[in-house]
Amino acid sequence: MMCIIWTLVLLVAIIPRPGGGTVVDLTHTYGPDVLYPPIGPGGTADMFNFTIMHRGYEPSLDAWLEINWFGVFEHGSTHVDAPAHYAQGRAHLHEIPVEQLIGPGVMIDITDKAKHDKDYLLTIQDILAWEEDHAQIPQASIVMLNTGKHKLYPNRKLFYGTETPDDMTTYHNPGVNPDTAKWLIQNRQVKAFGTDAHSCDPGQNSNRNRCHEEFLPNGVILLEFVANLDRMPPVNSTIFLGPMKMRDGSGGPCRILAIYGEDIAGVSAGNAMSFSILLSTSALVLNLLL
């Protein structure tokens, strides 16, 4: 009995406490200025419907009350593409496994290359050079591509790189070479791939969205219009994805957080391991003593 009590006392004393890490919000604010491709039923109109139903003092409750109605396009602003978006029979939004919504974060910065070539395609060589500078991309990572586009959001013309943003054929944005997408799936088993542009497929490459065709049928979810990528570190972060759990959605708005720093990110991996070793050692010692 004493052994159990002592073990519990020790457990409370050494359990890692959060606080001290840094949380970065990788999400644009959803509002009337939301960016989306002009492919909805009403073209560029009515893609964000936010109607105030009540805002004011409500006598029956004797309290302030706010209630709104909203309707949005699945693929506007910061959002997730579910595998079903480009693959028949694959997971819809509500079917994405929760394990896929959290993982080691990787940020690959191609802003310099994108400045010189607005339709730049990420190559396998870029990935290998990045790994040379940092470390091999961990298995089952959430990889983010920083093209610099997030700084242009929500200016429609600057973001899409065109004077005619209602015409998608005029878009200019960096993306990913389809061979690189295939390589990341086969060799690094990425679980999610994100970009701060509106798509991982480049604006001017072809009519086919070949990276969508590589990633989504292989179960890799995509993140588009990701914000604040210049504020997350290249390595040693944990990314949390919070997409709406909408039945049969092909995609949907998503809150994305990157967390780095010893006290928060470390709890899930290194600290948990040292915690369990310390706990079992303590229990063994106390068993011998009592």
Q: Which residues form the interface with Zn ion (CB under 5 A)? A: 75, 81, 224, 251
CB of 251 to Zn ion, least distance (A): 5
Q: Quick one: tokens of 262?
A: 């010893």
For Zn ion, the closer of residues 123 and 250 by Cβ is 250
Q: Are 273 and 27 in contact (CB under 8 A)?
A: no
CB of 79 to Zn ion, least distance (A): 6
Q: Quick one: tokens of 108?
A: 């690959």
Q: Are 108 and 144 in contact (CB under 8 A)?
A: yes
CB of 246 to Zn ion, least distance (A): 14
CB of 72 to Zn ion, least distance (A): 12
Q: For residue 254, give the 3-state DSSP assignment.
A: strand
For Zn ion, the closer of residues 37 and 105 by Cβ is 37
Q: Quick one: tokens of 144?
A: 């983010």
For residue 82, what is the DSSP state?
P
Report d(CA 256, CA 239) in Å as an integer. Answer: 7
For Zn ion, the closer of residues 76 and 104 by Cβ is 76
E strand or H helix that includes residue 275:
helix 270-289
For Zn ion, the closer of residues 148 and 253 by Cβ is 253
For Zn ion, the closer of residues 20 and 43 by Cβ is 43
The 10 Å Cβ neighbour count of residue 158 is 13
CB of 34 to Zn ion, least distance (A): 13
φ, ψ dihedrals at 33, nearest 5°: -90, 15
For residue 112, what is the DSSP state?
H
